[in-house]
Structure 1
Amino acid sequence: MFSLRTRIALLLFCVIALNLAGAGITLWYTNRTQSLQVQLSAKNVAALEASHGLSASLMDQKGNTTYYLLSHDDSWLKELNAKRELFEGWLVKAKESAFSAESLLVLSELESLYAEYDASRKEVIESYKQGHPDAGAELHWKIRDEFNTLLLLSKEFRTLYVQAIELNRKEFSEEAEIVNKVIMAGLILSAIIELFLIVFLYRKILDPIRNLAHATGEVGDSASPSTKNDVLTLSNKVESLIIHIDDTQKELDANKETLLQSEKMALVGKLAAGVAHSIRNPLTSVKMRLFSLERSLQLDGQQQEDFDVVSEEILHIDNIMKNFLEFARRPKLKAKIQSPSEVVDTALRLLKHRFESQEVNVSVERTGLLPAIPIDGGLLKETLVNLILNACDAMVQGGSITITEKTDVVEPLGTIVFIRIEDTGPGIAEDVIEQIFEPFFSTKEEGSGLGLAIARRIVEEHGGWLHVTSSENKGTTFLLALPATRGKHGKNSLSR
């Protein structure tokens, strides 16, 4: 069974198709009529002129011949030659405008008979010139039948032309009648479909929505039919429902995301507790024994290198353990009034040697120190160090990091402090950029996937937000925003 939208679309398609078909047939019929009129007009005029020209030139030739035989004036012979050429010209035009095989046959017979008649007439004239009028007169009486036959053939050509016109008129009338019937049937069918569409829309869409409006009290029962605006009421109700559905969906999505994060947090908490009891104490013992061995043993170069690798890997495991524990526990802010610019400078001093070893150029753009606001300097420094180290790791062959500080007013939140960290690295792929803040997601082979998640949590605990923009091969930008004053709603009022 088709859906409601599909059925409506099919009905509309049928109406449009019928209208387009009717318009197409009408356009075709108009063009065809115009084309036939032009063709018939051109052929009809040429055929009509040729039929009259043939008859008239034959009569003129007969008169010129008779006048010469009576007067023996050679000027009539010149006139006769001119009329003969005129007849031949009309004969050529008649062939060009011929409209049927039968008309061509008549013209061919006319042409052949005229050649015999013209030859006999020349003999009559020659007999009169040589002084044999009796023989010429006798021959002249004999070719009168040929002349009459030529006239009859000319009239027959004209008759065929009239019959052809009548036949074309009948065919055109029949074709017009068929086209009119088709157009009329299309109009009737289109009207039926449109009426069915109106009833369908009213029963399947308008009635249910109006009943919904009545049921929710949007359309008062006391309102008179003349004062009710059903269209406006239905429109407002549908718009309200759409907004409500959108808001509900957003809340559901937010709650779903919160639930997922809570589940991850619970899982990480259990994991961190287990790891703390099962791994950290033995790991501490291993670190102490390694420290003691390093001081008591005499190691060659290869052994020292192996020993350093083992120490670094144990340190890496210890850092992962710390990240687990930090992520499992929500950070408790120890806020005091301090300028975030001081924290930025402290983080850069800590990473100075890292910048030099990796050939990273760092610049800070500020018009002055940022205003002092309530922040936890230690946690904010941890966040900045994490973001800057990620930028350094992304720029394997060196590059530049630009840190921009500014303040702005964002209504209704008030004054916001912004710290933008922009690098010239390879950027983050579009298909993973939405996942980088998720716990345990990492693009690094040895990463725990908790650094950015912890950084965002610290910023959100300050009532701000952490946003990222990136394009492949064009670098990455992290925007850290902190409120100058924390409202009563805390981070929820600023989360993005």
Structure 2
Amino acid sequence: MDSIEPFKHPDGSWPVLESRGRNLLDDPDVQGFVVNSREITELREHEQELKRQNDQLEVIRSVVSHDLKNPLNVAKTTRDLAAEDFEDPDRREDVPEHLDRLGRALDRMDAIISDMLTMAQQGQRVAETEPVDLESTARAAWEMAGGDDATLDIADAPTIRADESRLQQLLENLFHNSTQHTESGVTVTVGTTAVVDTDDDTSVVGLYVEDDGPGIPEDEREKVFESGYSTAEEGSGFGLAIVEQIAKAHGWEVEITDPGGARENGDAPDTGIRVLLSGVQVA
């Protein structure tokens, strides 16, 4: 009889034990069952990390073979057309248009490669956190990823414990996602839910980023965290996958819900989404 089960240690941790039992009822010296156990917590963690790395390699393979290949083909074709038109005086005026298209293809490849590198880094577990001013980090992220026609609203922003750089990366991806899928005029709100005290004497909140854009159908909300999933023509499909990886690296849970609050007439908002990060520790 073999089993692998976690058990609760008196110190509150949950180590994993591998146990093997033997029936020795027929042994006159024992006349009972013998169970040998060993702790394999570290081994299981290594196995999970190896699986995560293998999953990331599969994502990268998929992107290189498909998503990256598409703009590469566009770049090659456009380069050939530009070269042909340059040789023909009657068509030389079309060269700038080809070069613009070539530039867009190169920018697209650069964005995809950057996102892949970010995913490889952000999957790593956050070893240490520090007190982070949520409002200043959100404004720094907005400066990098906010749209020209969009508005940032800070509803409630306490000091939280996080890796500041990776938190900013998470917010940048959420802001970019909100502005990318809206033509203009979107309002993006950053806030937190009510403070909850936990059993280990810490206080946690839910950190949310919501917008009043077109929203996401409920039957697609689980898919948006899959690597490569995007409804935007120029999206890499890695934005929310990166958000989920950074959240999990902090030990947070992430989900998509309807926006909170209500309109002045009491009706719930009929557009937009809220990305909610649960389990964020207050500093």
Q: Aligned residue for 1:331?
A: 124
Q: Aligned residue for 1:479?
A: 276
Matched, 1:385 2:172: yes
Structure 1 length as normaliser, TM-score? 0.36
- Larger fraction in strand: 2
Q: Aligned residue for 2:30?
A: none
The Cα of 1:267 is off from its aligned counterpart by: 1.3
Unaligned runs of 5+ residues in structure 2 are: 1-48, 80-91, 260-268
Q: Aligned residue for 1:445?
A: 233
What SS class does the counterpart of residue 216 from structure 2 fall into? Answer: coil
What SS class does the counterpart of residue 322 from structure 1 fall into? Answer: helix
The Cα of 1:397 is off from its aligned counterpart by: 3.7
Distance 1:485 1:405, change over 3 A: closer
Identical positions, percent: 24
The Cα of 1:405 is off from its aligned counterpart by: 3.5
Q: Aligned residue for 2:254?
A: 466
Name the aligned partner's letter for residue 213 of structure 2: G
8 Å contact from structure 1 (residues 470, 476) kept in 2: yes
What SS class does the counterpart of residue 436 from structure 1 fall into? Answer: helix
Q: CA RMSD in A?
A: 3.8
| CA displacement 1:442-464 (0-9 Å, x = unmatched) | 22233232211111110111121
Name the aligned partner's letter for residue 56 of structure 2: M
Could you tell me which of 309, 319, 323 is aligned with 2:111?
319
How many pairs align?
204
Q: Aligned residue for 1:37?
A: none
For 1:327 and 1:429, the matched residues in 2 are separated by: 25
For 1:371 and 1:395, the matched residues in 2 are separated by: 30
| CA displacement 1:139-192 (0-9 Å, x = unmatched) | xxxxxxxxxxxxxxxxxxxxxxxxxxxxxxxxxxxxxxxxxxxxxxxxxxxxxx
What SS class does the counterpart of residue 481 from structure 1 fall into? Answer: strand
The Cα of 1:482 is off from its aligned counterpart by: 4.8
More relative contact order, 1 or 2 (CA 8 Å, 6+ apart): 2
- Structure 1: which 4+ aligned runs deviate by more than 3 Å? 258-264, 269-272, 300-306, 331-337, 410-414, 470-473
Q: Where does 1:200-211 land on structure 2 (aligned, <5 Å)?
A: none
The Cα of 1:340 is off from its aligned counterpart by: 2.4
Q: Where does 1:394-405 land on structure 2 (aligned, <5 Å)?
A: 394-405=181-192
| CA displacement 1:248-284 (0-9 Å, x = unmatched) | xxxxxxxxxx999776334125567x78xx99xx9xx
Name the aligned partner's letter for residue 442 of structure 1: S
For 1:389 and 1:265, the matched residues in 2 are separated by: 22
Unaligned runs of 5+ residues in structure 1 are: 1-257, 290-299, 487-496
Q: Where does 1:248-397 land on structure 2 (aligned, <5 Å)?
A: 264-268=55-59, 303-329=95-121, 330-331=123-124, 333=126, 335-351=129-145, 354-356=146-148, 359-366=149-156, 370-373=158-161, 375-397=162-184
Structure 2 length as normaliser, TM-score? 0.59
Name the aligned partner's letter for residue 403 of structure 1: V
Name the aligned partner's letter for residue 440 of structure 1: G
